[in-house]
Amino acid sequence: MDPLKARVRLGYSRSWVVRKYSLIGLWPSEVHLTRKFFAPGSRLLDIGCGAGRTSIPLAQAGHEIVAVDLATPMVAQTHALAEFAGCRVRGVAADAAILPFPANTFDGVLFSYNGIELVPREAGKRAVLSEVYRTLRPGGHFIFTTHALEAFNRYAWDRLQRVLDQLGRMLTFRSIADEEFGEIIPDPSRNVEVYYMQINSPRKYRRMLRSTGFGLRYFNSRSRIDALKPPGWLADFDGDFKFYVAQKP
C-alpha cells in the first residue's frame, strides 16, 4: 500500500478516533443537499463512512446504503451502530481509488467531512473521481466537501506560512519532489487523528471534475447553506467547508 495511504488508515484505525466518529447525524447543510440531489429510495455509496455518521441517517431516511472506508475498524463500528439503530447498512472495507463495484451501480455518492483531502496526491484524488464517475449511474450526483486554500479563517496564517516555505524551497532549488503543494504531513510519532491531508483550491477541484467528465451542478460553503444563502463568488473565500455537487451526464 502507498505509504501515505497507510498513514491515513493508521490514523483512522485508532480506537479513540473510532469513538470520536461514532456520533451519528447529518449536518443541516447535508440534510438540505441530500434531500435536494438524492431522490427518495436511492441506492447510495457513502465513501469514507467513518463510524456511520452519515450512513445511518441516510438509511433511516429510506435510502439503500453501501458504506465504504479504508479503515476496517470504522466499517465494523458502522455495522454495530446500524444494527443498534435498527437499520440496514452494507459496510465494505475498501480503497476509494479501486472501488469493488460494477459500473453504473449507484444513484448517488457522498464523500463527507473533507474525506477527499485524505486521499494522497493529485493522482490519487483523480483516481477516486474516476471511480466515482464509473460507479455512478448516468444523471447521478456526487456530493463532497473540502477546505479551501483561499478561505479566511483561523487556519489562514498557517496555510500562508506553508506556501511561503514551499516557494522558498523552490527559489533555493531545494528538492520538493517528495511533497505536493497543499500537503500537510504531521510527524508519525505523534498520537494524532490526521496523519496526512492535502488542501487544494476550489479552482483545482473544478478542473479535476471537468477533466473526469463531471458537470458541477452546485458549489457553496457550509455556513451559507445553513443560512439559506445562495451560491456566489464569496463562497470561495468563506472560512468554512465547501460543498460540491457534481453530476455524471
Could you tell me the CATH number of the domain that includes residue 163?
3.40.50.150
Average pLDDT over residues 24-42: 95
Q: What is the pLDDT of residue 189?
A: 63
Q: What is the pLDDT of residue 176?
A: 38
Local confidence band at 57 (pLDDT 50, 70, 90 cut-offs): very high
> Cα(first)–Cα(last) distance of the chain, in Å?
33
Give per-residue pLDDT as tens, 165-208: 554 544 444 443 445 666 766 666 666 666 678 888 899 999 99
Q: What is the pLDDT of residue 105?
A: 98
Average pLDDT over residues 214-219: 98
Q: What is the pLDDT of residue 1?
A: 79
Domain ranges, residue 203: 3-247
Q: What is the pLDDT of residue 169?
A: 47
Share of the chain above pLDDT 90, in %: 59
Cα–Cα nearest to 198, from 190, 208, 210, 189: 208
Give per-residue pLDDT as tens, 121-163: 999 999 999 999 999 999 999 999 998 765 544 545 555 555 5
Local confidence band at 22 (pLDDT 50, 70, 90 cut-offs): low
How many independent structural domains does the chain possess? 1
Local confidence band at 18 (pLDDT 50, 70, 90 cut-offs): confident
**Residue 135 in contact with residue 104, Cβ under 8 Å?**
yes
Q: Which three cell numbers stand for residue 25?
A: 447525524
Q: Which residue has the cell 498557517?
A: 158
Cα–Cα nearest to 96, from 73, 76, 58, 66: 66
Question: Starting at the edge strand that comes first in sequence, how are the strands of the sheet with 43-47 ordered?
Answer: 89-93, 64-69, 43-47, 106-111, 136-146, 242-247, 215-221
236 pLDDT more than 70: no
| 211 or 22: which leads in pLDDT | 211
**Residue 52 in contact with residue 78, Cβ under 8 Å?**
yes
Average pLDDT over residues 4-16: 75
Local confidence band at 3 (pLDDT 50, 70, 90 cut-offs): confident
113 pLDDT more than 50: yes
